[in-house]
Amino acid sequence: MFEPIIELIEKEEYTSAEKSLQEYIRSDDHKTRAYANYLIGYINTCWQNKERSKEKAHRYLLYNLNSEYPHRNAYALFARLEEDKNIVEKYLNIGLEKYPNHPQLLYELLNHSQDRASVIARILESGSTDITLLSRVVEVLIENQEWDKLSRVIFRIQSNNTLDDQQAAYLNLLIGFSMLFGKQPDYLKAIKLFESAEERDLSNFFGYAHYLGLIYAHMKSNSRDAAIKYFDRLPTNNSIFDLFDGPWYFITVNFFNVYQDIFALLECEFENDLPRRSKARCLYALYLYYPSELYCDSYRYDESHIRMIREYFDTTDYNKHLAVALIYMYCHFQKYVEANAIFLLTVENGDDVERSDCYYCNIIDNADAETLQIIVNQTVEFVENSDAFDYDIFRKNVLDSLIAQLQENRLYTDIVAIAELYSIDTLSTCENAFYIAYAYSEINSPKGMELYKKILEKEPDNSYVMNNIGVILEQNGNYAEALSFFERAAEISKESRHINNAQHVKAKIQEKVKQERAKKQKEYRAIAKNVNLEYFEQLGYNECLLSKFSSVQDLEVRQILLRDMQECAVAIATSQTKNATIMTGSIIEALLYAKLTEKSITAYVIPTRSGTANKALKDMALADLLFVAEQEKLITPNSIHLSHYVRDYRNFIHPAKEIRSTDHISQENVLIMWSILKRLIYELL
């Protein structure tokens, strides 16, 4: 009747199977009910059953065990669930009464009994040849260092089971250790067993256990040279390990106590052989370290073992395996700076340790901000002093993860310190190039903008880069250009921050326009404030002065002079110093030309650098006109001198003159020139 349910269980349809069993657990037939309880208990121990319940498994198995028809397997399943070993032992003994010497029940009793020695004696007396049970007996005997009982159990395994060559060699290896550490050691027999195992072990299946056995046996039998031969052949890597990792070790062995004795002997034997002593200490530390590389919660080393490896590492050629071990061990004790120093050595040696599953994030992920800063300083100093640093491996294995951690801690200066090891083009290829650009921007470096633009070339739709370019432009006062980047970012991402940035800078632009208009308005008002009758009268620009021009005979010239006088007065009133200077000089030049023309002078002999020259009046500059006026006694010598003052400042009309000069035209200078102009008007007209 249970065949369909068993078929459901085999198909891993546990929910349907358990539902179908409900009608049977209420059956009036005790045997049917007992088996149904067992099956429900079994279903809830299956690890494939995602809805399994330990509490339900415990309850229903107990229902079965307390019935008239307990199932043989129920005892073993219950033993694995019950935490009270006294209860377990009682039920297993009851089970063995019903099923005498059953291997599975004896196996569980050996695991849970508080008197393992009596259980082992019971197993041996039972005559059991079950390889699983006897293998477990071997494990317990080795664990308890009961080497003298080992051979008898192994012999029973060998005599009653078909073994392949590797299994046979494995058992001989274990017998070899029993020969070393039993009450009556037989080193020569042990050596033969280890040599046989070594010949068959082509791929170090035994974790160099045979080598260590041979070394110990030869040392103990005073064959020191033979021991050294095997010791020197031991590689300094993770090739010494306990025999438990994998289903191929049908007997799992922890060599901790054995290897402790072996390496203690080696350290003593090599007391005066420092290189070998250092290697022995290193190998022992590596053996202790090895499980932690496989299982994250298996740590059996301490800081003294780190020193053992480091001592050997520092005195020999670079060793990748030692480097990886040191990095992990330092990280375990939160010595991240020391771990970083070793990682930098791997990079310097061109070693891509990530291929050994040794990742830089193990160093920095749990480091605090202060430690990260020390790591950055250490790294920069190391790189600067290294002639063989592999920048490509560092970029691939370290750069991005380090930048990400520094960014998380907002250590922007430190990001820049690391980034400075590379060109902008290289940085733009990094996964965290954005963070690097941001860090440069935070310290106001133009490289931030440069890197952002490089990123944008590769990622033209990156709205975050566009936004940050806009921020930099806004900070530099380039509001219009910033607005274009903000608007593009907002259009692509539709994110509120980008939209808000665009609106914010748009408001700034409007405010700037408003301020500039107000500023110009103020400037214009300031310019025009003196354009009134009172100011012109104080300046001397009045009817009395203008009436003097009536004496100019040429009407056209007179009108030009009156126009220029008005422009000059307005230029002075509005502080247009350069225009006023030019106008005063031009008016003086026009006055002199008009008065000399009225005297019918059309040409004059003028002194030159090479002598004299007869120059036409119309071709004369102001200096020439002043010379002629002085010769013709049109104005006084003082007026001539003052007019040259005007001529000197008038030269500022030439840009080159103004740029080269350390002087400048002030309003005070202009008023002096205006006074000179008025003096000449009164003298000439």
At residue 661, the pLDDT reads: 52
- In 3D space, the residue among 546, 582, 541 whose CA is nearest the CA of residue 561 turns out to be 546
Query: Rounded to the nearest 5 degrees, what angle is found at the Cα of 18, between the Cα atoms of 15 and 24?
Result: 160
Torsion, Cα 154 155 157 161, to 10 degrees, reads 150
At residue 267, the pLDDT reads: 96
Using CB atoms within 10 A of its CB, is residue 312 exposed (0-12), middle (13-18) or buried (19+)? buried
Class of domain 460-528: mainly alpha
Residues forming CATH 1.25.40.10 domain(s) in the chain: 460-528
Are the beta carbons of 198 and 205 closer than 8 angstroms? no
Q: What is the pLDDT of residues 658-685, one digit of tens each?
A: 545 555 788 898 999 999 999 999 998 8
The secondary element (H helix, E strand) that includes residue 606 is: strand 603-608
The Cα 482–Cα 470 span in angstroms is 4
At residue 92, the pLDDT reads: 97
Query: Rounded to the nearest 5 degrees, what angle is found at the Cα of 309, between the Cα atoms of 308 and 312?
Result: 90
Residues in the chain: 685
Are the beta carbons of 133 and 107 closer than 8 angstroms? yes
C-alpha pair distances (Å), 577 with each of 217, 566, 569, 644, 664: 110, 15, 11, 18, 10
Per-position b or e across 33-55, b if 16+ CB within 10 A of its CB: bbbbbbbbbbbbbeeebeeeeee
Torsion, Cα 540 543 545 550, to 10 degrees, reads 160
Nearby residues of 237 by Cβ (< 8 Å), 6 or more positions away: 286, 319, 321, 322
pLDDT of 354 strictly over 70:
yes
* pLDDT band with cut points at 50, 70 and 90 for residue 649: confident
- In 3D space, the residue among 130, 129, 147 whose CA is nearest the CA of residue 138 turns out to be 147
Residues forming CATH 1.20.120.330 domain(s) in the chain: 548-684
Structure tokens at 340: 């970083």
pLDDT of 66 strictly over 80:
yes
Residue linked to tokens 């049977």 = 24
- In 3D space, the residue among 409, 465, 416 whose CA is nearest the CA of residue 439 turns out to be 416
Looking at 137-146, 226-235, 248-257, which range is the least confident one? 248-257
At residue 273, the pLDDT reads: 97
Q: What is the number of alpha carbons within 13 Å of residue 180 lying toward its C-beta?
A: 30
At residue 249, the pLDDT reads: 86
Average pLDDT score over the chain: 93
pLDDT of 486 strictly over 70:
yes
- In 3D space, the residue among 215, 216, 125, 205 whose CA is nearest the CA of residue 165 turns out to be 205
- In 3D space, the residue among 388, 409, 309, 305 whose CA is nearest the CA of residue 344 turns out to be 388
Give the residue, 530 or 338, on which the prediction is more confident: 338
Query: Rounded to the nearest 5 degrees, what angle is found at the Cα of 232, between the Cα atoms of 227 and 234?
Result: 100
Structure tokens at 396: 């691939």
Q: Which residues pair with 611 in a beta bridge?
A: 608
Q: What is the pLDDT of residues 547-573, one digit of tens each?
A: 999 999 989 999 999 999 999 999 999
At residue 522, the pLDDT reads: 83
Residue linked to tokens 């301490």 = 302
Q: What is the pLDDT of residues 76-122, one digit of tens each?
A: 999 999 999 999 999 999 999 999 999 999 999 999 999 999 999 99
Fold of 548-684: Four Helix Bundle (Hemerythrin (Met), subunit A) (1.20.120)
At residue 519, the pLDDT reads: 86
What's the whole-number mean pLDDT along residues 305-326?
A: 97
Structure tokens at 472: 């930099």
What's the whole-number mean pLDDT along residues 300-317?
A: 97
The Cα 41–Cα 77 span in angstroms is 8
Span between the terminal Cα atoms of the chain, in Å: 143
* pLDDT band with cut points at 50, 70 and 90 for residue 297: confident
pTM metric for this prediction = 0.73
* pLDDT band with cut points at 50, 70 and 90 for residue 651: low
pLDDT of 648 strictly over 80:
no
At residue 103, the pLDDT reads: 96
The Cα 587–Cα 572 span in angstroms is 14
Q: Give start and end residues of each alpha helix (H) in 385-432.
A: 391-394, 400-408, 412-419, 424-427
8-state DSSP, 281: H
DSSP letters, 171-196, are: HHHHHHHHHHHSSS--HHHHHHHHHH
